[in-house]
Structure 1
């Protein structure tokens, strides 16, 4: 099942691939003589600046800002590394910018901030707004990430998305649709267990409920989230009211008994014995990286469809299937927000690409499939136009 032997990467490969950073600025028009210089800079540029000063909307035509995505992080929840700070998070943000360019043709600038204060981050982005056209929030710890995204959306007149939440949720929904198509099952028949009530877990619960999943049961490190449980923050109190219709109590073992789908987003583990109590033909998404909640080969003894977050096993749940096309579609549509309808459209587009060749080991397209970003972009753009019609 594993392709690990064919994808060996050494430490030397990794560090040499990051030396000097992963980004550079391209100049699309050559500056080779005095005339070129006069057009690109002084005195010609002053004419453009005066025109924009007189009519600010011209900035969209004569600068790059409206097509630039700011990739913003405070370094507080980076990959599985935790709170490593702004500087250490920059290689990740550079990588995200490289993916925007490679998959969606969008320019992108990584911005890492030496503050965890929500007010300061919001103020910084408000002040920088003339320099970009969209904001991808990245690797910001929960529960601050929920408040921050909400406030940045409210403060700015451009597309904003916290990818750790919604990119993950979009691809999980697309993958679940693929798995159900393989098994001939319906969304409304499912009881889904989500282990992890952080950024990704909360967003997955919401998008799955919006998509018509029958029942969602959520767990955090203290067990099943339910009304009246002590120590719930505001986000988890809302989840308690919206999920767990069966009124389950206890831990993972109690949640998994008879469940149809397991989605792991917490770094916890699931035992073979616990997995064996799930419904026949279970679907297992063990998405923690680098170590899935249960090894895919063990999960495959009980589940017909298994997905992970890794590239060396089939069915990789990778956010790159979603975020480049989502932002490209939102910007192409001139949208001011990325709505739930646009996210559902993105998930459907990913599924439709996979639907051409569905298989238990291919419920989502490859992260490198060149069809995906254009399909997602077109679907998101159409959803945005439909909403504004």
Structure 2
């Protein structure tokens, strides 16, 4: 990674514009009209990629220093796929309020904040508090990026097999950041029913071991009133979504409904190997690039931020996420096969389509400022 100027500094005249004395006029103008910072500096076009290093990829709690290569990679993807500049920031802190305070103090330098690889349940509270405090988009990609791409793939799988989302019962293995966000976006999209499962089985209201986040999601999901283990919940389900790791036995996969979809997204080892899943499912997706239908966050977050920054959105709403998923699904809606229900990350149509949909949704919802 590197930082470079977008205009040349070739001689004394250029220097006088780029720095002293010319820069003083820009500073004075912004001091008089603070909103000019969005036009005369890079703040409205750059995203902070922020982590505490507590939940990095499949590596877990490896700390801020070791997390930096992932944050740098994220920034490169922002630039590569959507032309969005981003700065990686790894914080040596685990206290929720201290992280919120630190990011809030950094916020005047950025147009948006992408939270990354922060462990649950702390990530939920950090995102919520920052959203309440800041007037720029705050987006925890491990939650919402995963959810947007999952919904897009599910829309196309349903379309391919002639079904609507309202006809589908979904079981999600994993009740962490991604699992909770997927459940919420599926409900917002009109899914028939969804049951969320953790290590102790179905997350339901009569359990006394639930966190506040799980208690909230229990009140929104599982209309069928399922109890018991993940395998019990899978019996007759139309969709399995895995965001937990671990291994699901083939005997449980065989209990899914005919024509089911299996999205086994754990990396590097899917909960259900695609070869096994294909024996029982009509559509199979994973989080890996060496199998068809990769559920990859890079399909979502560059375009989402590009659209939000384009209109100077004050926040990223649920409607903007749903619009992103619909636009992403539409990119390959006329090209569907069981091996292609989601575009490739290198499909050049993706980021522009997502950005346009997000910008339009922001305007429609009244959070756009230009």
Q: TM-score, normalization: structure 1?
A: 0.93
* Corresponding residue for residue 83 of structure 2: 105
* Corresponding residue for residue 55 of structure 1: 33
Determine the C-alpha separation between the residues in 2 that align with 1:368 and 1:376: 14
Instruction: Please report how far the alpha carbon of residue 142 of structure 1 lies from its aligned counterpart in structure 2 after TM superposition.
Output: 0.3
* Corresponding residue for residue 297 of structure 1: 275
Instruction: Determine if contact 2:64/2:92 at 8 Å carries over to the other structure.
Output: yes
Determine the C-alpha separation between the residues in 1 that align with 2:298 and 2:100: 26
1:132 to 100, 110, 114: 110
Does residue 117 (structure 1) correspond to residue 87 (structure 2)? The answer is no
Determine the C-alpha separation between the residues in 1 that align with 2:340 and 2:364: 31
- Could you list the per-position Cα deviations for residues 233-273 of structure 1 after superposition, in whole angstroms to 9, with x for gaps in the alignment? 11111122111112211111101111100000000211111
* Corresponding residue for residue 48 of structure 2: 70
Return 5+ residue gaps in structure 2 as ranges: none
Does residue 32 (structure 1) correspond to residue 2 (structure 2)? The answer is no
* Corresponding residue for residue 339 of structure 1: 317
Instruction: Please report how far the alpha carbon of residue 230 of structure 1 lies from its aligned counterpart in structure 2 after TM superposition.
Output: 2.2
* Corresponding residue for residue 347 of structure 2: 369
Instruction: Determine if contact 2:47/2:87 at 8 Å carries over to the other structure.
Output: yes
Matches of residues 90-239 of structure 1 in structure 2 within 5 Å? Answer: 90-239=68-217
Determine the C-alpha separation between the residues in 2 that align with 1:302 and 1:278: 8
Instruction: Please report how far the alpha carbon of residue 28 of structure 1 lies from its aligned counterpart in structure 2 after TM superposition.
Output: 1.2
Instruction: Please report how far the alpha carbon of residue 356 of structure 1 lies from its aligned counterpart in structure 2 after TM superposition.
Output: 2.4
Instruction: Determine if contact 2:44/2:312 at 8 Å carries over to the other structure.
Output: no
2:253 to 266, 275, 285: 275
* Corresponding residue for residue 288 of structure 2: 310
Determine the C-alpha separation between the residues in 2 that align with 1:187 and 1:45: 55
* Corresponding residue for residue 6 of structure 1: none
Instruction: Please report how far the alpha carbon of residue 320 of structure 1 lies from its aligned counterpart in structure 2 after TM superposition.
Output: 0.6
Instruction: Determine if contact 2:49/2:114 at 8 Å carries over to the other structure.
Output: yes
Out of 105-114 and 239-248, give the one that drifted further.
239-248
* Corresponding residue for residue 266 of structure 2: 288
* Corresponding residue for residue 4 of structure 1: none
Instruction: Determine if contact 2:157/2:338 at 8 Å carries over to the other structure.
Output: yes
Out of 198-207 and 47-56, give the one that drifted further.
47-56
Determine the C-alpha separation between the residues in 1 that align with 2:326 and 2:105: 36
Determine the C-alpha separation between the residues in 1 that align with 2:361 and 2:28: 36
Does residue 358 (structure 1) correspond to residue 336 (structure 2)? The answer is yes
Determine the C-alpha separation between the residues in 1 that align with 2:81 and 2:34: 30
- Could you list the per-position Cα deviations for residues 81-115 of structure 1 after superposition, in whole angstroms to 9, with x for gaps in the alignment? 11111111110000110011111111110111000
Instruction: Please report how far the alpha carbon of residue 168 of structure 1 lies from its aligned counterpart in structure 2 after TM superposition.
Output: 0.3
Instruction: Please report how far the alpha carbon of residue 129 of structure 1 lies from its aligned counterpart in structure 2 after TM superposition.
Output: 1.7
Instruction: Please report how far the alpha carbon of residue 380 of structure 1 lies from its aligned counterpart in structure 2 after TM superposition.
Output: 0.4
Determine the C-alpha separation between the residues in 2 that align with 1:197 and 1:144: 14
* Corresponding residue for residue 328 of structure 1: 306
Secondary structure, in 3 states, of the residue corresponding to 1:279?
Answer: coil
Out of 114-123 and 168-177, give the one that drifted further.
114-123
Determine the C-alpha separation between the residues in 2 that align with 1:253 and 1:302: 15
Determine the C-alpha separation between the residues in 2 that align with 1:294 and 1:128: 42
Determine the C-alpha separation between the residues in 1 that align with 2:252 and 2:84: 44
Determine the C-alpha separation between the residues in 1 that align with 2:5 and 2:217: 48
Matches of residues 250-265 of structure 1 in structure 2 within 5 Å? Answer: 250-265=228-243
Determine the C-alpha separation between the residues in 1 that align with 2:157 and 2:84: 31
- Could you list the per-position Cα deviations for residues 50-99 of structure 1 after superposition, in whole angstroms to 9, with x for gaps in the alignment? 22112211111111011110000000101011111111111000011001
Determine the C-alpha separation between the residues in 1 that align with 2:40 and 2:231: 59
Return 5+ residue gaps in structure 1 as ranges: 1-22
- Could you list the per-position Cα deviations for residues 264-311 of structure 1 after superposition, in whole angstroms to 9, with x for gaps in the alignment? 000021111110011001100000000000110111011010000000
